[in-house]
Amino acid sequence: MSEIIYSGVQMKAVIPYKKASAKSRLSPVLTKEEREEFVELMLNQVIDTLKKAGIETIDILSPSMYGLEDMTRANVVLDKNDLNEALNRYLELAEEPVMIVMADLPLLSPDHVKGITSTKEDVCIVPGKGGGTNILFIKNPSGYRVKYYGSSFLTHCSIAEKTGQNVEIYDSFLAGTDIDEPEDLVELLIHGRGTAKEYISKKFRLDTSRGRVRLTPV
Total residues contacting a second copy (rule CB under 8 A)?
Answer: 31
Cβ at position 162, least distance to a second copy in Å = 18
**Interactions with a second copy, residue window 24-53 (CB under 8 A):** 25
Q: State which residue, 58 or 99, has the beta carbon closest to a second copy.
A: 99
Q: Residue 109 carries which side chain, given as an amino acid letter? A: S
Q: How far is the CB of 119 from a second copy (least distance, A)?
A: 16
CB contact at 8 A, 133 and 153 = yes
173 touching a second copy, by CB under 8 A: yes
CA-based nearest residue to 52, from 178, 170, 153, 193: 193
From the CB of residue 10, how many other CB atoms can be counted at a distance below 10 Å?
Answer: 14
- Classify residue 48 by burial, with Cβ atoms within 10 Å: 0-12, 13-18, 19+: middle
Near a second copy by CB under 8 A: residue from 66, 190, 198, 216: 190
User: In Å, how far are 92, 97, 104, 110 from 161, measured between CA atoms?
Assistant: 19, 18, 27, 28
CB nearer to a second copy: pick between 143 and 182: 182
Q: Does 65 bind a second copy (CB under 8 A)?
A: no
Distance (Å, whole) CA 157 – CA 29: 34
- Name which position in 82, 93, 95, 130 contacts a second copy (CB under 8 A): 130
53-61, 74-82, 88-96, 205-213 -> range binding a second copy (CB under 8 A): 205-213
Q: Are 163 and 112 in contact, with CB atoms under 8 Å apart?
A: no
Binding site for a second copy (CB under 8 A): 25, 127, 129-132, 149-151, 153-154, 171-176, 180-181, 183, 186-187, 190-191, 206, 208-209, 211-214
